[in-house]
Every structure is written in structure tokens, then in C-alpha cells.
Structure 1
Amino acid sequence: MSQPRITVWHEYRHEHENPAVHAIYPQGMHRALAEGLGVHGFEQVRTATLDEPEHGLSDEVLETTDVLLWWGHKAHDEVGDAIARKVVQRVLNGMGLIVLHSGHFSKPFKALMGTSCDLKWREANDRERLWVVNPAHPIAEGIGEYLEISSEEMYGEFFDIPAPDELVFVSWFSGGEIFRSGCTFTRGHGKIFYFRPGHETYPTYYHDGVRQVIANAVRWAVPRSSAPRAFGHRQPLESLPANAGESEVQ
């Protein structure tokens, strides 16, 4: 199988405005994510950011992306509606989508879920333990029973999303909350994976286990050959009797 074409999208604002975030991700979270994918053998990885023309997601970029990673937080409303609709359409047509952390509030994810995607949160150096609840799932490959992150932002239930197709990870936080942290969905021909960890003030995207999960998710989300999506009026495949479809007058 040929190498998947991956685009890492990131709003890239916190690194410019918060010295603490810049210290952790001096080249941006998108670069750390791309680096992690390179460690796992992916060769065709490019990045795109909010302030580029068309947010870096031109028609050409989207049409040549097999899997799109999305991280956004403070600037969801600055993503153009037209670009968000194009991302949604590409997912429906088969592109994989990996939504990371606060991307749960992004325009594409909310449109694909059809819900508010709201949740509880707390930034207080919680310890996070992500339990593998679906050990046979390919996204959990190589993780073991659980994945532990020493400091992270807490997300807590209720998470206002549709029931996932598959639940891969459930997080427990040292403050006592739990959260559905690894959820898969299918929309049209596209596969979607939501993965919770990744607050900007913590070095989460350098964590070996987190990088393993994201790499596994990319492999899982790569489009596969499938039947075409066909809609609208169609001619019959077989010959129909004369006057077919007309009501018989009694």
C-alpha cells in the first residue's frame, strides 16, 4: 500500500501569544504532530495553519489529503464556513479525519456530529489515565492496558456527541472525572476519530504513547476502496413494464 497523504491542520495562535506554549512548542504543535508521524514512518506529511490563504486548505490540498488532523481552540469562529463545508464534504467522500483535543468545538466536527459537542473542563494539572476499553481495535495497538499522562487538562462527562460507532479509550482523571477520550465515527465514506489529549500548555504531543495512538488512528482512517456514493434520479437497470408507477384505475 502506498504512503497515505497526511495534512496536519492547526490554528497556530497560542504559540505566538503565550510564552509558556511557545516554550513547549517553539515551532508550533503542528510541527510536533508532524514530527511524531515521521517517527512512525509516515513520509507524506504536510502542515496547514489558520492564517494561511484559505487556511492552508485549498481545493488542491484537500483533494490530495487522505487523512486530515485537526487541532483548534480559541479561533474556531475564524474558520471560514466555506472551508469548513469543504472539509465536511471531503470526509463524506472518504477522507479520514482525526480530531484532537479542543477540536471537538471545531466547525467541521460539530457539523459532522450534529450536536453541541460540549463538555466539562478544568485546567489544573490533573493526572490522566486513558484505559483501553476495546483492546482488539487497531487504534489501540501497542498501547497495553492503559496510557498515563502525568499532567493534562480535564475533560469530563457528559460529552454531548452521538453514541460513537466504537469506543476505544475512556479517561480517568485524578480529580475523579471520566471521559470518552477515544471515539470513532463513520460519516458517508469517511472515518473519524476523536482523541482527547493535547492541551496547549502541556507537552502531550511529545508523549510516546500519544504519538502511537495518533499514528494508529491515521492508518485506520486511510480511505479504502468502496462502492460509489450515488444519489438522485436514476434510470432502471432492468426493463420495466409499460405504465410502471402509474396507479391502476378501478
Structure 2
Amino acid sequence: FSRYLREYVKPQLRELLTNYGPVAYIWFDMGTPTPELAVELKQLVRELQPDTIISGRIGVGTVIRWLKGHTIGDFMEVGDNEIPEQRIEGDWETPATINDTFGYKSYDHNWKSAGNLVQKLVTIVSRGGNYLLNVGPTAEGIIPEPCVRSLKEVGEWLKMNGESIYGATASPIDIPPAAPYQCTAKPRKFYVHIFAWPWNGKFKVSRVNSDVKRVHLLADPNHSELEFRREGEDVVISVPDKAPDPIDTVVVLEINK
């Protein structure tokens, strides 16, 4: 393996990092027999492109090793298509597929819907992570049409709701395990992503310890106020009878401080 690494992998890595301009991110998907060999690759990347981000799968990047500070990459990589059940401190990423495989397979038609992709994206961001979504093109470089349709729908959702995703941080409130919502945040704003609309016109957000001053729908251009009341630590919001967005309606809680 050492010979393979030094005579094949490192020359190819050098070619990639010197012949094609700035490289923002290099994604290693490998363990190595020793941390020292992984460090050699990291040092080569730093030598040739100091600003390139290095994935957590250079060497062994498990959650435990990451939390103990023993990983070699720049962040922690969780398992393929895996979403942690709770927030993880530090930088982490979920590498995921849009069907069941990373590469193109003509018989794999199990495409994820736009709703599925959006809700996964929101859940990952709400727990502090990055969603690395793989698209497997054909041998001719064509993105399969079902994949294109789903991604365009996700793009339409982001046009209306991107404020709640781009530059947002993990949820500042504890989300109950079976809750039909997730939460992302920016300074003085909590974005509550509602996946299942209430039948009775009342939606409860649990464990909100901050002082809420105003509530409105993110996609409402007028930002018309929604009525709300406190029930202890919870906030109960009066919402329209029908979900404005069947995939994920975002309600903004404006916070005093």
C-alpha cells in the first residue's frame, strides 16, 4: 500500500492540485494503514494548495475520533446518507445520494423526491452540518432527468426560503425526537421548518426559552404577523388552515435578544 500511495496516488494528487487552478475542496474516501501515510497526503495538499479544504475521510474519521481531536481532515464526515440524531459540535458533513448509488446505474430508479431532499437538507443544517449531495451522471456526462426535476424543485424552494439555510446555524432550541419540525437560526431569528401541518390551525414549538417579539411566514412578502401565545416554555402559533408550502413551510420567530 505504501508503494501504491507514493507511486500512484501522490503523483495523481499533485497533478490535480497543480494543473486545474484553485481547488476549493478535496474529498478523500479512504482509510490508511497508518496515520503517518494520511498525514503525507495532507501535507502535500497544504504544500500545493494551502486553502483547500480536506474531507474527514483521510485516514479514519469516526465521530469518536473527531470529538477527541484525533482526526486528520478539516472536519468530521459521518456515514453515507447518515444524519445524526442530535447536534454535533464542530464542523461535520453528510455525504448523500439522490437515489441509492453514488455512481450512475441504469437500473437504479429510486430517486428521492424534492420534499425528501429539502427535509434532509433542513434536518442536517438544524444539527450543524453540511449536506454534500451526490449526482451520478451517465457515461456521456448527462444528469438523469428525474434527478434534474427533483433538483429544480429544491431550487425553487430555496429561492423562497434560502434565507433560512444559507449562512444559518444549528437549532438553538431542543427539538423533541418525534417533532414534525426542525429549526435553523441567524442572529435574532429562529426559522421553524414545519414538515407536517396542524389540522387545528395551532402549531406548537417546544422549549423556546428566548423572548419572541414577532412571528411571520418567511415566504410572505408582506411579513404579516401571525398571532402567538406562550404556554410555559412553548410557543403556540396560529397558522393558516392550509400549508402554504406542502414540502416545508418556514415560520420566522423574531427574537428580542
Higher strand fraction (1 or 2) = 1
| TM-score grouping bracket, smaller chain normalisation | under 0.3
Structure 2 length as normaliser, TM-score? 0.26
Pair member with larger Rg = 2
Which structure ranks higher in relative contact order (CA pairs < 8 Å, sequence separation ≥ 6)? 1
Structure 1 length as normaliser, TM-score? 0.26
